[in-house]
Amino acid sequence: MQVKGTAIKNISTYIAKDFGTMKWLSLLGHLPEEFKDYLPDGHVYTTRWYPFELYIHILNLAEEMFGTGDKKVIFENARSGAISNMNTIFKLFIKTLTPEALASKIPLFFSHFFDFGVMMVEKQSKGHIIASIPRIDYYPIFFVRISGYLKGILDVIGVEFSNVSYNYDAFSKKVSFDITFQPKR
């Protein structure tokens, strides 16, 4: 399981901007030894693939060092990452989508950053989308990050109100994201 460097770069940029570059380097210093060689000088290559476990360690350390235990720092980092990931041309394309049309694009956003699993839309109605990833282990910090990213995409589209939450079914090993929104009038 791997993650695209862009996802890690969003974290490093957020930490450097809000807490200082030295805090990012400090976080890396707390990684388990087997992961320290991936980012020896703190530089993240956005087009490179990194181990998913490295990503999970970085997310957990970011929450431990900069969060308050509610994972809000992870959610907000992902939300702002979604907004900053979209270059001007892509933002123009996204802004032309209705929130409902977004549903068909959700799987593409996921596969852009992760080389495992498939995010699929299970249900869609006016102001409501349920998307899921089947056959995935329990990674609550990862699920919070995906929720924040989806919220950021809705922010770019421009909706009056939106909420994204998740639910994990341990028996079926499936996470479902409940996405609700109020389109602009």
Q: What is the per-residue pLDDT for 28? A: 92
Same domain assignment for residues 44 and 123: no
Same domain assignment for residues 122 and 153: yes
148, two tokens? 């924040």
Same domain assignment for residues 91 and 172: yes
pTM for the whole structure? 0.87
Same domain assignment for residues 18 and 89: no
Q: What is the per-residue pLDDT for 31? A: 92
Q: What is the per-residue pLDDT for 140? A: 95
Same domain assignment for residues 55 and 136: no
Q: What is the per-residue pLDDT for 115? A: 87
Same domain assignment for residues 155 and 89: yes
Compute the distance between CA of residue 46 and CA of residue 5 in angstroms, rounded to an integer: 4
Same domain assignment for residues 47 and 112: no
Domain limits for position 33: 2-66
Same domain assignment for residues 88 and 163: yes
Q: Within the chain, which residues score under 70 in pLDDT?
A: 86-96, 98-100, 103, 185
Q: What is the per-residue pLDDT for 174? A: 97
Same domain assignment for residues 44 and 119: no
Same domain assignment for residues 24 and 107: no
- Coil, strand or helix: which one is 164? strand
Q: What is the per-residue pLDDT for 61? A: 94
Same domain assignment for residues 173 and 106: yes
* Location of structure tokens 């699920």: 143
Give me the number of domains the chain comprises.
2
120, 124, 127, 131: CA torsion to nearest 10: -20
